[in-house]
């Protein structure tokens, strides 16, 4: 892989970044705003998106400097993702900045990066990744979507892509397809001939999902056709490390919410947090979160190639498993600590529960991520 990180933030810079994202979101994207926009047509707040780009530069953090980014790595991106996860901010951040930009970087296609990364970094281009097909499996090879090259060396795609994050409204699709040379990645622009984009009813209203139908759709090869599997495996490390940061950010919000409620809710004449049954639930959530936090941190350091970090493939796979399990567990316990109120639509607990399940499944789910971990170790 090429080195894309040229800047490293110190502890103080990271804290500044965290505070500026947190205060912007607290101000502009509180729970009531999130609920408003998640039910809107667009699905997110375009002005929050713009402010994240213009005021903090969140979209550009991990984009290389020579492509219009800040040149930071996963560690810095992770700080912002924790905050976005914490506030369950709807919007194409994960799809465009993590998956879209990540796919461009993983494919190492200089001209495609030069063409599209500056727009993604500025928040003006929305990219997303289309890998999963109608069987719902996340895979890195064996696609039924076919890419054909004509005499003029132009490519067209035929097939159906499902469970594509933020498909509706994206400007640019990175589509995985089989070619005569093996799996490849292709760029399809919105509005391309034969491209049909449909929104699907989603489990998590803060994370939109859609379907692409490609019928003789013109596409540009991203990297060398046949290199798709390697690029997707590499992207998966980056994406799961990023997801882990989002997961621990959201899980921490759940723990804080649960602890605050357990301190204040009185039953049998005392705060329920004084009962060991509830206190120990919170302690278990804390313990799982500490381990998940460590895994997410180590995965980011590993993807950035820090000298004392473990191999990226290992750390990302560990983080994906541990953070997925931890967030799901903590989201469930959050509802239990809250009791009846936690089961209402009005309470935010279900939004975290939904996000936890979606995060756990979007790259394959437990059976896949545990097996992937063993594969990364050659077991």
Residues at the site binding another protein, with contacts judged by CB under 8 A: 255, 259, 262-263, 270-271, 273-276, 278-280, 282-284, 286-287, 290-292, 294-295, 297-298, 308, 310, 314-315, 318-319, 321-322, 325, 367, 370-371, 373-374, 377, 379
In DSSP notation, 291-325 reads HHHHHHHHHHHHHTT-TTSPPHHHHHHHHHHHHHH
Residue closer to another protein by CB (options 27, 270) is 270
Helix, strand, coil tally for the chain in percent (to 5): 55, 15, 30
Residue closer to another protein by CB (options 182, 365) is 365
Residue 84 Cβ vs another protein, minimum distance, rounded to whole Å? 23
The residue assigned the tokens 């139908």 is 213
Residue closer to another protein by CB (options 340, 378) is 378
Residue closer to another protein by CB (options 129, 278) is 278
Residue closer to another protein by CB (options 189, 314) is 314
Please tell me the distance from the alpha carbon of residue 14 to that of residue 75, in angstroms, as a whole number.
Answer: 9
Which contacts qualify for 188-193: CB closer than 8 Å, 24 or more apart?
188/157, 188/212, 188/214, 188/217, 188/218, 188/219, 192/217, 192/218, 192/219, 193/217, 193/218
Going through 103-258 in order, the beta strands assigned E by DSSP cover 127-130, 146-149, 155-165, 172-179, 182-189, 195-200, 209-222
Residue closer to another protein by CB (options 222, 322) is 322
- For residue 130 the two structure tokens come to 């289309």
Inter-CA distances, 111 with 108, 221, 222, Å: 9, 11, 9
Residue closer to another protein by CB (options 128, 297) is 297
Inter-CA distances, 106 with 109, 119, 120, 205, 242, Å: 8, 17, 15, 29, 14
Please tell me the distance from the alpha carbon of residue 276 to that of residue 221, in angstroms, as a whole number.
Answer: 59
């Amino acid at each position: 892989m090429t080195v894309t990180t040229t800047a490293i933030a110190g502890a103080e810079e990271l804290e500044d970044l965290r505070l500026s994202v947190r205060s912007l979101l607290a101000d502009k994207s509180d729970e009531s705003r999130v609920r408003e926009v998640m039910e809107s047509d667009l699905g997110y707040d375009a002005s929050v998106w713009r402010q994240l780009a213009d005021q903090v530069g969140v979209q550009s953090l991990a984009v290389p400097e020579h492509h219009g980014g800040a040149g930071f790595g996963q560690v810095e991106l992770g700080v912002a993702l924790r905050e976005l996860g914490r506030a369950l901010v709807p919007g194409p951040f994960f799809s465009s900045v993590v998956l879209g930009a990540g796919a461009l970087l993983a494919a190492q296609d200089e001209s495609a990066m030069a063409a599209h990364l500056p727009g993604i970094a500025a928040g003006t281009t929305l990219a997303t990744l289309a890998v999963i097909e109608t069987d719902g499996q996340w895979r890195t090879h064996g696609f039924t979507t076919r890419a054909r090259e004509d005499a003029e060396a132009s490519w067209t795609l035929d097939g159906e892509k499902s469970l594509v994050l933020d498909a509706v409204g994206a400007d640019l699709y990175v589509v995985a397809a089989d070619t005569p040379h093996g799996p490849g990645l292709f760029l399809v622009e919105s509005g391309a001939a034969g491209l049909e984009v449909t929104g699907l009813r989603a489990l998590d209203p803060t994370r939109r999902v859609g379907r692409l139908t490609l019928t003789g759709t013109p596409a540009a090869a991203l990297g060398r056709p046949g290199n798709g599997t390697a690029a997707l495996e590499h992207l998966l490390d980056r994406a799961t490390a990023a997801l882990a940061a989002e997961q621990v950010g959201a899980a921490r919000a759940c723990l804080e919410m649960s602890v605050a409620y357990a301190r204040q809710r009185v039953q049998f004449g005392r705060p329920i947090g004084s009962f060991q049954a509830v206190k120990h639930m919170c302690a278990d959530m804390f313990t799982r979160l500490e381990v998940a936090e460590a895994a997410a941190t180590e995965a980011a350091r590993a993807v950035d190639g820090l000298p004392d970090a473990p191999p990226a493939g290992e750390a990302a796979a560990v983080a994906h498993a541990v953070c997925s399990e931890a967030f799901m567990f903590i989201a469930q316990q959050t509802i239990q600590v809250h009791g009846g109120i936690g089961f209402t639509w009005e309470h935010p607990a279900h939004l975290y529960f939904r996000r936890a399940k979606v995060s756990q499944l979007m790259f394959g789910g437990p059976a896949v991520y545990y097996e992937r971990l063993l594969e990364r170790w050659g077991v």
